[in-house]
Every structure is written in structure tokens, then in C-alpha cells.
Amino acid sequence: MTSRPADTHCPYCALQCAMTLTPGTDAAAPPTVTGREFPTNRGGLCKKGWTSAELLGRGDRLTAPLVKLADGSFAEASWDEVLDRIAREVTRIRNEVGADAVGVFGGGGLTNEKAYQLGKFARVALGTSRIDYNGRFCMSSAAAAATRAFGLDRGLPFPLDDLDAADAVLMLGSNVGDTMPPFVQHLQGVRARGGLIVVDPRRSTTAQLTANGSGLHAQPAPGTDMALLLGISHVVIADDLCDDGFLSARTTGSDAVRRSVAAWWPERTEQVTGVPARVIRDIAHRLAGARSAYILTGRGVEQHVDGTDTATAAINLALLLGLVGREGAGYGTLTGQGNGQGGREHGQKCDQLPGSRKITDPDARAHVAAVWGVDPAAIPGPGIPAVELLASCGAAGGIRALLIHGSNVVVSAPDVSRVRESLSLLDLLVVSDFFLSETAQLADIVLPVLQWAEEEGTMTNLEGRVIRRRQAVAPPPLARSELWILRELAARLDAPGVWSLDPADVFDELARASAGGLSDYSGLSHALLDTGVAAHWPFPHGSAGTPRVFLDRFAHDDGRARLVPVRPRGPAAPHGSEVNLVTGRILEHYQSGTQTRRVAELNDPNPRLTVQLHPVTARDRGIVEGGRVRVANGRGVVEAEARLTPGIRPDTVFLPFHYAGDESANLLTSDATDPRSAMPEFKHAVVTVTPA
């Protein structure tokens, strides 16, 4: 354990709130958490942040490698034993059927160093193209839309505190009041000016911020957000609210978008979405009349089979209004996972190399190969995205061995029944985690890795700001960093190149590999970050970073942004007594709940799965407050406790996705994916709801 306080950041969401960890008075006492002044949180933390240190001393922490026995139980084993077995099995499988029979599944919570090294390990040590990560379930549609429109994917292309001076903020599909509460302080100014606009089928915690003259709340039917955005864009064009000078000077494609939204007059949009035409007109005029306006999207509008196009519709609206590429206005998307931004920039995505380089680009391959010390031809081509990767496990010609790092896919993946079945067919499943998660329980080998406060490294928050994670406590003696695990396996697999254990050295290599790429970290180092510099990428050598991108030009070759026409395809509609199901997060829990369900202060308020539904919906089905409810469709069934609220549409029910086993909301979600981003349809399913 360190003897001095350590300045670090929260292990949860992409807000990456700053905190100080002060060591306990003895080895058994957890460190004390203190909020620290930082632009995103300004000293504040949510419940999850305040209780984060409790996880460091839990008795069920993994402290030694585990191997599964014939009876399904686990036994401790030595590191040499498990690493030798992994290398032996991987080598056998590669020799028998090829390197692509070995897969890697990463996570958006890994540090930049570990995410980078994992991508390098997959392609150099394993020789496989089969790598993707759980950010595919989080940011892929927003990333695809931003790349198509701007040529570059950075969640917020401006610092978060720019929102403080906003006169209007349109938030679609994001409930920051529950998912990242310290964010709300950046909305206090716009609330005071009456300009907060929240689009959500539920009267969520964030939607409630619009009460008492603070703004307005629009409640579209689930899956109709794109139609709503097209209707708002129609008003912007019809009422001559466009920024024509901006469109002419800095964009292409506006004429096609004008034509594409012509049919979405407000009254027609009202029929599709349920949002009154007067509200649609009001939103358009509020945004156009604001001196400083922003449009922000989240997973609620992106986790659909048309999520990329929905995000594109939001971008089109922002471009029509001239909100992108100038100070005091903007479009952005709110990254969810702690390192969701950095985790996708440096090699975990199946089609990207470090620096957000395309793996199919010969120049990109040559540059990265030179850093890695390999022949460019040795780097595999593009792989397959997460849903397809998991579905291929155990299938003929598919993956036979899978290594999972920082992800709990049997809770977080769509249609989890199929995922569980696929994983059971593998020759070898290896899971690296610090608790025996539901996915780890299925593994043949479980590797104990370090928790956030036991390691050094960097993260990249939702603003594209690279920050330092610092060690505050000593790990259990047998727990190891993924950097160590990857080095040991690389040696056993006779992999070329350098595999450092020092996160600072790995970061330096990452910086060289990213140099000249869209996500350029080449001017950064641990030493520079330790000075407290505000480090927004791109941060090439000789620069001071880029807190606001697009001020001068967009990242396409011609410097212009693209407006792209899109059209709704429409979600599957409920029939008869069926209703729409939406899923999401609640205040106390995070992602698959592996961490938060282990903290009493977080778990006790909501220890079991609950379903939120309208009192009219409940009355028509004989459901009462607190009663047990059966939610079902053709993919699965869950039982939950009823929570009645008039703040949700009568045609919609809501389930949180943090629970495991028979309470997993993802038993009901579809693995249908967006054709451009491969994002699954998490945010809409059709279900029946009956008393249990």
C-alpha cells in the first residue's frame, strides 16, 4: 500500500470524476475517498464513486488463478500451470484450424495501455483477426455516425464545462441524472434560462429537471427518435432557421437532406412519435433562437438497428443550425464506460489499429507494423464485430478458444441465452477479472487481475481528455496486471516485439503507434500528464492539445462536414396486449452489476429486478404495486417486481439491465444489429406483461 494519498479517478463512468484515495490506518482498512476538484465533477461524486473503495477489500476478491474441475467447481492453480495450459491449447487450436479460431473480447473499462496491448497481442502474438470489445454495445453507432459526418469520432468535441453557458441543450436518449449525476451541475445554467429539452419515453430523473419552467420534456414512442429529429429539421428548414452561411462554407449534402425531411411536417411527425406538433415547432425555434445551443445524444437513441442513422439525424440537425465547429455551440454524444473513448481508439475494435487507423489502410498497417517490429503482412485484416464474434463461438468454422478481458458478456450481451450456449461449446474459455463474475463462472480458467486503485495507467474521458490513473493500494500478492499476463503469454507463444510491464513504457509505444492518426496521442506521456496538463486529443508532438475540434475544419480530406439523408425504418410494433420494452441504467448500479451488486449501500435500495410501468397498463393487466410480474417474448422470460409510475408511456415498460441469471433483461433483447455499426437492438423489444 502506498503511504501517501493518491490522486486518481473514479472506476465507473466516462465522466471520470477526480478523487483522492488516502490509505487506511492499517492494511485491513480500505482507503478513504475524497472528491477532488476537476472540470467534469468539481469535487462532487455520485453514490458509486463515494463507495468505490469498498470493492478493494472484499473477501470474494479473486486472489489466485482458478481452473475448473470435472464437477464444475474451481480449484486454485499456479500461474505457470494456467499460462502453460493456455499457450498449449491456443497453439493446438491454431495448428489444427488456424489463428482465427482463437478470439479476444475486450472491455471499455481497460486502461489505454491495456486496451492497446490487448489489440497488439491479438494480432501479433495470436495472429487472429477475431478481436472486438463491449464498446460495440455502447458507442459504436455514435462513432459510426460521427466518423461519417465529421471524419473523426470523439464523443464530446468540446470541454464539458462549455455547457455551463448554454441557452439551450437538447438531450436525446440520455439519463445523466442517474447515470452520471455530477454531470447535472453543467446543466444548471441552461435550466435557469429555461432551455433544457429532454427527449425520453420516461419521465426520468433527467427529464424531471425540466420542471417548473426549466425546459420541456418530449415523450416519443420507443424507436421513433429519428422521426422526431426529422420533424424538428423540417421546421428548421421550413421556417428559414438554417445557418445558410455555415452550410455553404463548411458542409456538403444539405440539399439532399432538405429534400429528405420535406415529408416530415410536424403533424405527420406527431402521428408517428406521439410528440405534439406544437412541441416539435417549439424545440426547433428554441434551438435556433439560442445564442449558445448544444445537441447531445446517448444510448437511448443509438442502441437500435437504425442507431447510426438516428445519430446522423441528430448531427444533420446540428449542422443545419450551424452548431458544430464554433465555440459556444456543438453536437456530442455521451460516452458511457470509463474508458469507452480510449478503449476504441487503440486497437480493440475489430477494424481499427492504434490511433483510430483503418486496419485495411496499407499506410496505417505499415506505420503500426514498424512500431510493433513486424512485417505489415503479418497483421491480420479486419475481424468481426462483437455480436457476430460471440455467436461464432463453438460454431463450425468459428472460434474455439476465447479470452475475455474486462467484460461480463453473459449479462451485458443481447439475447444472453444464445451467448451462454455459445460459450459452453468452446474448447477453452479464459476470463480475466477481479471478481468471479457470471461470465467467469463459465470459464475453464479464471485469471485474477488488478483493480483500478492497484494500477498505474491512463484513461480517456467523455471529452477526449487523457487522464492519469494512479496506484493507491497494493494488490493481492497473486493478482497480476493484464500487461504481465500478455507478456507471459507472448513469450510462451514466441511472439515478436517488445512486451513491457511498465505502463509508462507501453503508453510511449501507444503514442508512437498513434502518431499521425486521427486519435493522435504522440505528444503525450505519463510524465507530461503528471504535470496536470489539460490533454485533449488530438495531441500531436509540439501541440497543446485540442479541447475543441472542428473549429477550423472537419477531418474529411476537403475539410467539410457531410449531411447524410436518412429515413426511419420503424421498430417492430406491439400488437394486442403487447407493449414496448426499453432497458437502461438506474442510479445505484453500473453496467452488468459485477461491482455495484457487491456494495450494500448500492445494492440494498434495489436488490432485485424491478419493472417500471404506467398505472393504466398495470390496471388493465391486474398488476399491483410491488406485485410480481412476468415479462416475456419469444426469446425469454424474466420475473420482476412492479413499480408503477405515471412518468412512463402506457405503451412502454422499463427494465434495468444490471441483474444476472434469470433476472437479466437481456434475456429479452434481440441480437439484430445496425448494418453500419453492428450495434445491437438493446433499446427496443416487444413483450407481454402479466402477473407472475
Pick from 425, 137, 190: nearest CA to 299? 137
Helix or strand run (H / E) with residue 296 = strand 293-297
Please state the length of the chain: 692
Q: What is the pLDDT of residue 23?
A: 87
Do 469 and 459 meet the contact criterion of CB atoms below 8 Å apart? yes
Under 8 Å CB-to-CB from 646, ≥6 apart: which residues? Answer: 203, 614, 615
Strand-pair category, 628-632 with 685-691: antiparallel
Strand stretches in 423-551, DSSP E: 428-433, 445-448, 457-460, 466-469
Q: Is 63 exposed, middle or buried (0-12, 13-18, 19+ CB in 10 A)?
A: middle
Cell of 646: 405515471
Q: Which residues pair with 198 in a beta bridge?
A: 171, 217
C-beta atoms surrounding 450 within 10 Å:
22
Q: How far is CA 661 from CA 173, 666, 691, in A?
A: 27, 10, 20
User: What's the DSSP call for residue 220?
Assistant: P
What sign for the dihedral angle of Cα 34, 36, 40, 42? positive
Q: Using CA atoms, how far apart are residues 415 and 658, in angstroms rounded to an integer? A: 14
Q: Using CA atoms, how far apart are residues 186 and 39, in angstroms rounded to an integer? A: 10
Please report, in angstroms and rounded to a whole number, the separation of the first and last CA atoms in the chain: 50
Q: Using CA atoms, how far apart are residues 264 and 270, in angstroms rounded to an integer? A: 9
Low-confidence ranges of the chain (pLDDT < 70): 1-3, 27
Do 417 and 667 meet the contact criterion of CB atoms below 8 Å apart? yes
What sign for the dihedral angle of Cα 108, 110, 115, 118? negative
Between CA 540 and CA 548, with CA 543 as vertex, the angle to 5 degrees is: 90
Helix or strand run (H / E) with residue 504 = helix 503-514
Strand stretches in 72-127, DSSP E: 74-76, 102-106
C-beta atoms surrounding 66 within 10 Å:
22
Q: Is 402 exposed, middle or buried (0-12, 13-18, 19+ CB in 10 A)?
A: buried
Under 8 Å CB-to-CB from 275, ≥6 apart: which residues? Answer: 218, 219, 220, 228, 231, 269
Model confidence over 406-418: pLDDT tens digits? Answer: 999 999 999 999 9
Do 40 and 160 meet the contact criterion of CB atoms below 8 Å apart? yes
Q: Using CA atoms, how far apart are residues 430 and 446, in angstroms rounded to an integer? A: 6
Report the C-alpha dihedral over residues 85, 76, 124, 500, rounded to 10 degrees.
-130
Q: What is the pLDDT of residue 28?
A: 72
Give exposure, 87-111, as e/b (b: 16+ Cβ within 10 Å): bebbeebbeeeebbbbbbbbbbbbb
Between CA 157 and CA 167, with CA 161 as vertex, the angle to 5 degrees is: 95
Delineate the domains of the chain, giving CATH numbers in brackets: 6-57 (2.20.25.90), 66-135+339-450+478-498 (3.40.50.740), 140-333 (3.40.228.10), 579-691 (2.40.40.20)
